[in-house]
Amino acid sequence: MTEEVKSDGKRSNAFVVSPQKRKMQKLAKNAGEALLLGIASFVAIIVLFIFYFVAVDAIPYFQLRGFTEFFTSTGWYPAGEPGEFGALAIIYGSAMVTLGSALLAVPMGIAAAVCLSDILPFSVRQYAKPVIEMLAAIPSVAFGFFALVILAPLLQSNGGPLLMWTWWVLAAPFLLLAVIVAADLLSARFAQEENRKKMALLLQSLFGILAVLVLYVVGTKLNAIEIITGTNALNVSIILSFMALPTIVSVAEDALQSVGRELREGSYALGATRAETLLKTVLPAASSGILAAVILGIMRALGETMVVWMASGNSSHIPDPWFNYLEAVRTLTATIAGDMGEADQVTGSARYHVLFAMGLLLLVISFFSNLVSERIVVRQRKILSGQ
Amino acid sequence: MQMRAEHKESAAKGSATATRDIYIPSERVAVSGGGTPHVVAKDFSIYYGDFEAVKKVNAEILSKYVTAIIGPSGCGKSTFLRAINRMNDLIPSCHTSGILRFDGEDIYGKLTDEVLLRKKIGMVFQKPNPFPKSIFDNIAYGPRLHGMNDRKQLEEIVEKSLRKAALWDEVSDRLERNALGLSGGQQQRLCVARTLAVEPEILLLDEPTSALDPKATAKIEDLIQELRGSYTIMIVTHNMQQASRVSDYTMFFYEGVLVEYAQTAQLFTNPKDRMTEDYITGRFS
Amino acid sequence: MNLGTRKILDNSFTAVGMGSIVVMALALLAVLTPIVYNGVGAVFFTGTIEHRTILYKEYGRGDAKTIETQTATAERYRGEAYRMLSDFEAEMEGMPFEASSRYRSQYAQVRAAMSSLLGPLPGDPTPMLTRFQYGQTRWEKAEEKLHEILYEKKWDYSDPTVMAKAFYVPRAEAFAGTMLAPLFGYLDRHLADMMQPEFTVYWGFFTDRSLDAHIFGGIWPEIQGTFFLAIGAMLFAFPLGVIAAVYFTEYAKEGFFTSILRSANSTLAGVPSIVFGLFGLAFFINTMKVSESKSVLAGSLTLAIMILPTIIRAAEEAILSVPKTYKEASLGLGSTKWNTIATVILPAALPGIITGGIISLGRAAGETAPIIFTAAVSVGSAIGIADVFSSPTPALSWNIYNLASEHEMACEIRHVQYGMVLSLVSIVLLLNLSAILLRAKISQKLKG
Ligand SMILES: Nc1ncnc2c1ncn2[C@@H]1O[C@H](COP(=O)(O)OP(=O)(O)OP(=O)(O)O)[C@@H](O)[C@H]1O
Ligand SMILES: [Mg+2]
């Protein structure tokens, strides 16, 4: 850097260098960039390697046993002689806990994202964000431990009353709201202007009684439920929803933030309330970004290992009835983690390779979900930037 | 409109006949040691992709003089200025045609080391942009880059540069403080000092006062007066008073074309081109 | 709809949003509270003389004099109980067979519970396993054992429609009229005399090796293993990630190839952690053979791959947030591109890059699935730094799982599990907290 080429002596112009030096500079620059590119491509190479090495160990399984048993049978006896490798119940278990956690986390996550981006004042948001970050940071094994040691016994001993209270706390406000809205809508539809108030009051009390009845009946039903085992699909779904929430909230919030102020102001200017603005204008505009958030959140739940391994009960069967979340289930991730310990010694057997087959299945699902969510985000960015 | 067409014609003719192919100001004011062509443009065009932002400029910029560049927004002033020390290399789509010479050597030549070039041609930007380091480290940044590490020498250079930039008296007691703590005007003078520390021959100033208040602006203008005669200075400005106050020569650009280039006094009092006249009398924005 | 209803709907909408955030905060609280509360109990608790004896014998800590006197006192009270046992044994010898067999199984239970409470009873051979060589080290555990001695647990099957309920019958009733009858009252009265409880602060929990698979002792091997793995992962991933980020932000030309590279990055970020474990096993151990079998090196490499996308993203963001003017200024002064990156851009982006690094470090420390097949063992002592290339290591995350789910005395050592969980969560959260603070400081600095 320091030496200036004065060697040719004919000029004081130091910015023109000899052809050799220029060549060397170019060479060094290209070499440097190639090196950087090499390092940056490292990630792509790793991705290829992951697919390759998981597939290479997964394919022997399908060669040995074909596809039918894996995807259609529920018999999972890998240690048997001969072993059975029906993964249907396990795939079903994965789907079940993933769906369960999504049912809990998606509405809550979107509501929280909306709240963070549009409702809370900045001063409060400052404190809400670290809460979400901390929730995201807690190691999965700590969640698993909580599910196994605290939540499972709680569900097992007090499951019924717990369910009942949850139902009451959650359903009561919504039913109340439904009563008010229904009464309002109906009275507006069927009553004359002067009778409207009276009619609304009448309908409200009528619906109110109905709602209380529903609350009570369902509550007592729930109270009577006995939970056989606390390590079940419900337990895992609850915990997984905690883990998926931060992802959903942060990605959805980004999507909401990228919807411009103009859109919101336009809606307010037409006399919409905040809820109406958000529901009718902002959320639809951000919908694809929110969809991406949901996909990423679901992937987090599907790919989670420790919680399901510790607290799902690891029982390979399809619950009866199929939606019974109070039964133990078994998932793909937990099976890989749990069975490798024994399969490890028998490298080369179907028992070993079937676990890689499961890994491959997870990998493929996560790959496509990622692709889809990425596409969605890119598309939304394009739409919002008006291209 | 008509005028522009006419001008275009004449420019085209000029380059075609190539007798007196370079736009130079007719008369020269006296500045010691100045007056030789320092930067020479011949049919020099700059493109962003397909868009020709600066069109076939032919001009000589004289050494040790202050040359102002004026023109409406988007006419290519910054683009032209940044081409001189190849800052446009940062923009991938940007490329050039024609010739641009500095001290007789092609700036865009194959053998040009743009790093050494920029050392010779310093630049100060519209918004003051000190590094988030101490005042001392800001000024010493360039010399250190070019291999100077002796603390004594660095201290000398820092003091000399700050004095030249008329900032020494204000900051000599807090050289180790973060430069971001200075006022806007001080920051801009720091940026000038930082550039001077590399000992350039040419100073490019792109609207150096547009982000400053009148008082700070006055200081920068004083500074330019101080530096006149020691450096070749090119300054882009929107402020015509400023151009007439600080510069010896003025270039007027319109839509990428160098419309008129003359001694400042002459250009402002007696413009040859109707476009120039319209612009300096404020008939179009 | 009338305006009143719309207003109500609007407010309830707000309430739902707030409610969700409150639920999240409550979830965090619900998870953290028991972990913190019980985890603290691993260090601060009421310890018995057994605890002090173990510390003295196995770790060479504690005051020999006081331990001796306390042991003597405890032994005096225990002697009385032992005497009742041997009296009753003699009495049983003298009984007719049917009569004595009525007591035999219950008495065996009492003896087992007694030896679990106090350590091996006189006359018993010294047990092989350390866990049977000592009594209860913690007061609350001693009380539990006492309850086990005093009461027999029975199940009520009378109502077939509900699950059986447990209930307790005092053993004193079963042994009424025998020479063992006074034992129960005696134990109840003199438990403290026999155990010598004292408030204990056991910092050694973090720095001691474990004894007999964590039945006694501390968790140092796990803490050390976690640090080795996490720091090892950072050693690989951090430089790679930062360099890749520099490439993406400063050199990459937008195009097909770059978009492929970016896609690869987000794909890698989405790979389930257990698949990383499979890959680590198949690639690093079975194919590359970086080590015979599991090792810290293989685990670190696997974790490094896992955290790489996070680091790249954080570093990219940090670099992009450096004002463009810095770059222009530096280049304008005649600096080369590389020099500009090294002296201006990276220093300015450093806090942001470090923030990302810290968060990734926490992630690497907390993950379990990738190290199950590549690095973690359940029992083991702390390994030396030279062994990282060849030996596996215990690690907090893995051993929490192992102790809670697979340990044969999982219920007896909850305090150790809680202590481990608290340690892991504290490490991770402290790392995150420092990252949050660092970021707050950066944004303040950027504001001026
Ligand atoms: N990076 C770029 N890519 C494409 N076009 C550009 C780029 N930068 C500038 N241009 C275009 O080139 C033309 C000249 O721009 P330039 O910045 O040189 O104008 P200017 O005279 O400095 O204007 P101002 O007074 O507003 O600073 C404009 O039409 C502008 O839109
Ligand atoms: Mg400009």
Ranges of each domain in chain B: 64-85+115-280
User: What average pLDDT does this structure show over A155-171?
Assistant: 90
Structural domain includes residue A347: yes
Cβ(A39)–Cβ(C243) below 8 Å? yes
- For B73-88, the three-class secondary structure string (H helix, E strand, C coil) is CCCCHHHHHHHHCCHH
Structural domain includes residue C354: yes
Pick from A290, A271, A367: nearest CA to A109: A290
Cβ(B63)–Cβ(B110) below 8 Å? no
Structural domain includes residue A34: no
Residue-level pLDDT at A1: 37
- Cis before A82? omega within 30: yes
Collect all residues of chain B within an 8 Å Cβ-Cβ radius of residue C333.
118-119, 122, 141-142, 145, 194-195, 198
The verdict on ipTM greater than 0.90 is yes
Let me know whether C163 and C241 are in one domain. Answer: no
User: What average pLDDT does this structure show over C261-277?
Assistant: 92
CB count within 10 Å of CB C270 equals 23
Residue-level pLDDT at C275: 94
Structural domain includes residue C257: yes
Domain containing C135 equals 49-202
Checking if the pLDDT of C440 tops 70, the result is yes
For residues B126-156, b (16+ Cβ closer than 10 Å) or e, as one string? bbbbbbbbbbbbbbbbbbbbbeeeeeeebee
Residue C132 to residues A92, C117, C129, C263, C438, Cα–Cα distance (Å): 44, 10, 6, 57, 49
Checking if the pLDDT of C44 tops 90, the result is yes
Return residues 301-320 of A near B (CB < 8 Å): none
B60 secondary structure, DSSP code:
E
Pick from A212, A243, A64: nearest CA to A142: A243
Average pLDDT over all residues of chain B: 83
Nearest Cα of chain C lies from the Cα of A306 at a distance, in angstroms, of 7
Q: What is the dihedral of CA B103, B108, B113, B115, to 10 degrees?
A: 90
User: What average pLDDT does this structure show over B273-279?
Assistant: 87
Domain containing A187 equals 68-384
Q: A375-379, B137-141, B243-247 — which is least confidently predicted?
A: A375-379
Over its C-alpha atoms, chain B yields an Rg (Å, rounded) of 19
Residue-level pLDDT at C62: 86
Residue B156 to residues A91, B124, B152, B190, C330, Cα–Cα distance (Å): 74, 22, 6, 16, 21
- Across the interface, which of C14, C336, C424 has its CB nearest the CB of A1? C336
Residues with CB under 6 A from ligand 1: B 48, 53, 71, 73-79, 91, 93
Residue-level pLDDT at C445: 67
Distance of CA C136 to the CA centre of its chain: 21
Let me know whether C186 and C108 are in one domain. Answer: yes
CATH, residue C366 = 1.10.3720.10
Long-range Cβ contacts of B5-11 (<8 Å, 24+ apart): B7/B257, B7/B259, B7/B273, B7/B275, B8/B257, B11/B56, B11/B58, B11/B257
Q: Which two tokens stand for residue C221?
A: 């091997």
Closest ligand to Cα B205: 2
User: What average pLDDT does this structure show over C321-339?
Assistant: 88
Residue-level pLDDT at A13: 58
Residue-level pLDDT at A217: 94
Residue C445 to residues A92, A123, B179, B181, C438, Cα–Cα distance (Å): 51, 19, 13, 11, 11
User: What average pLDDT does this structure show over B102-128?
Assistant: 87
Structural domain includes residue A311: yes
Let me know whether C231 and C295 are in one domain. Answer: yes
User: What average pLDDT does this structure show over C98-104?
Assistant: 82
Residue-level pLDDT at B1: 38
Calpha distance B265→B245 (Å, rounded): 9
- Decide which of C265 and C380 is more confident: C265
Residue-level pLDDT at C324: 87
Calpha distance C72→A263 (Å, rounded): 82
Calpha distance B193→B199 (Å, rounded): 10
Residue B17's pLDDT band, with cuts at 50, 70 and 90, is: very low
Collect all residues of chain C within an 8 Å Cβ-Cβ radius of residue B87.
328, 331-332
Let me know whether C224 and C196 are in one domain. Answer: no
Pick from A57, A52, A22: nearest CA to A354: A57
Distance of CA A29 to the CA centre of its chain: 43
Let me know whether C278 and C391 are in one domain. Answer: yes
- Decide which of A281 and B21 is more confident: A281
Cβ(A325)–Cβ(A299) below 8 Å? no
Checking if the pLDDT of B156 tops 80, the result is yes
Q: What is the dihedral of CA C337, C341, C345, C351, to 10 degrees?
A: 170
pLDDT digits (tens, 9 = 90+) for C345-354: 998 898 889 9
Calpha distance B40→A34 (Å, rounded): 36
pLDDT digits (tens, 9 = 90+) for A106-124: 999 999 999 998 888 888 8
User: Subunits that touch chain B (at least 3 Cβ pairs < 8 angstroms)?
Assistant: A, C
User: What average pLDDT does this structure show over B141-170?
Assistant: 89
Q: Which two tokens stand for residue C137?
A: 């080290």
Pick from B16, B82, B76, B5: nearest CA to B43: B16
User: What average pLDDT does this structure show over C245-266?
Assistant: 90
- Cis before A321? omega within 30: yes
User: What average pLDDT does this structure show over C51-80?
Assistant: 90
User: What average pLDDT does this structure show over B196-222?
Assistant: 89
Structural domain includes residue A80: yes
Let me know whether C196 and C227 are in one domain. Answer: no
A12 at interface of B, judged by CB pairs closer than 8 A: yes
For residue B49, the CA-to-ligand 1 centroid distance in Å is 13
CATH, residue A273 = 1.10.3720.10
Q: Do B194 and C333 touch (CB under 8 A)?
A: yes
Let me know whether C300 and C328 are in one domain. Answer: yes
Residue B83's pLDDT band, with cuts at 50, 70 and 90, is: very high
B151 at interface of A, judged by CB pairs closer than 8 A: no
Checking if the pLDDT of B34 tops 70, the result is no
Which ligand 1 atom lies nearest to the CA of residue B253?
A: 21
Closest ligand to Cα B83: 1
Calpha distance B21→B41 (Å, rounded): 10
pLDDT digits (tens, 9 = 90+) for A302-343: 999 999 999 998 888 888 888 889 999 999 999 999 888 776
pLDDT digits (tens, 9 = 90+) for C169-200: 888 888 888 888 888 889 889 999 988 999 99
Let me know whether C192 and C341 are in one domain. Answer: no
User: What average pLDDT does this structure show over B240-268?
Assistant: 90
- For chain C, the three-class secondary structure string (H helix, E strand, C coil) is CCHHHHHHHHHHHHHHHHHHHHHHHHHHHHHHHHHHHHHHCCCEEEECHHHHHHHHHHHCCCCHHHHHHHHHHHHHHHHHHHHHHHHHHHHHHHCCHHHHHHHHHHHHHHHHHHHHHHCCCCCCCCCCCHHHCCCCCEHHHHHHHHHHHHEEEEEECCCCCCCCEEEEEEHHHHCCCCCCHHHHHHHHHHHHHHHCCEEEECCHHHHCCEECCCCEECCHHHHHHHHHHHHHHHHHHHHHHHHHHHHHHHHCCCCHHHHHHHHHHHHHHHCCHHHHHHHHHHHHHHHCCCCCCCCHHHHHHHHHHHHHHHHHHHHHHHHHCCCHHHHHHHHHCCCCHHHHHHHHHHHHHHHHHHHHHHHHHHHHHHCCHHHHCCCECCCCCCCCHHHHHCCCECCHHHHHHHHHHHCCCHHHHHHHHHHHHHHHHHHHHHHHHHHHHHHHHHHHHHHC
Let me know whether C91 and C137 are in one domain. Answer: yes
Residue-level pLDDT at C383: 83
Residue C14's pLDDT band, with cuts at 50, 70 and 90, is: confident
Pick from A353, A311, A356, A348: nearest CA to A329: A311
Bridge partners of residue B45, in order along the sequence: B97
Total domains, chain C: 2
Q: A118-132, A221-235, B32-46 — which is least confidently predicted?
A: B32-46
Let me know whether C149 and C86 are in one domain. Answer: yes
pTM equals 0.85
Calpha distance A245→C28 (Å, rounded): 11
Nearest Cα of chain C lies from the Cα of A43 at a distance, in angstroms, of 6
pLDDT digits (tens, 9 = 90+) for B175-208: 998 888 888 889 999 999 999 998 899 999 999 8
Residue-level pLDDT at A343: 65
Which ligand 1 atom lies nearest to the CA of residue B126?
A: 27
Indicate which residue's Cα is closest to atom 22 of ligand 1: B78
Structural domain includes residue A107: yes
Over its C-alpha atoms, chain C yields an Rg (Å, rounded) of 30
Residue-level pLDDT at B25: 53
User: What average pLDDT does this structure show over C201-206?
Assistant: 92
Calpha distance C299→C296 (Å, rounded): 5
Indicate which residue's Cα is closest to atom 14 of ligand 1: B76
Let me know whether C175 and C224 are in one domain. Answer: no
Calpha distance C256→A43 (Å, rounded): 16
Let me know whether C224 and C192 are in one domain. Answer: no
Q: Do C405 and A148 touch (CB under 8 A)?
A: yes
Q: Do C428 and A148 touch (CB under 8 A)?
A: no
Cβ(B181)–Cβ(B147) below 8 Å? no
Which ligand 1 atom lies nearest to the CA of residue B91?
A: 1
Average pLDDT over all residues of chain C: 89
Residue A174 to residues A106, B25, C12, Cα–Cα distance (Å): 17, 82, 9
Q: Which two tokens stand for residue A68?
A: 């039918």
DSSP string, A314-341: ---S--SSTT-TTS-B--HHHHHHHHHH
Calpha distance B227→B241 (Å, rounded): 19
Contacts of residue C64, defined as CB under 8 A and 6 or more positions apart, other chains included, come to C56
Pick from A250, A293, A294, A257: nearest CA to A278: A257
Residue-level pLDDT at A218: 93
- Fold topology of B64-85+115-280: Rossmann fold (3.40.50)
Which ligand 1 atom lies nearest to the CA of residue B75?
A: 21
A265 at interface of C, judged by CB pairs closer than 8 A: no
Cβ(B22)–Cβ(B257) below 8 Å? no
Q: Return the SS3 of B22.
A: coil
Q: A372-376, B83-87, C161-165, C420-424 — which is least confidently predicted?
A: C161-165
The residue count of chain A comes to 387
Structural domain includes residue C23: no
Q: C84-98, C270-284, C341-355 — which is least confidently predicted?
A: C84-98
Total domains, chain A: 1
Average pLDDT over all residues of chain A: 86
Cβ(C340)–Cβ(C279) below 8 Å? no
Structural domain includes residue C38: no
Query: Which residue type is seen at A131?
Result: V
Residue-level pLDDT at C446: 59
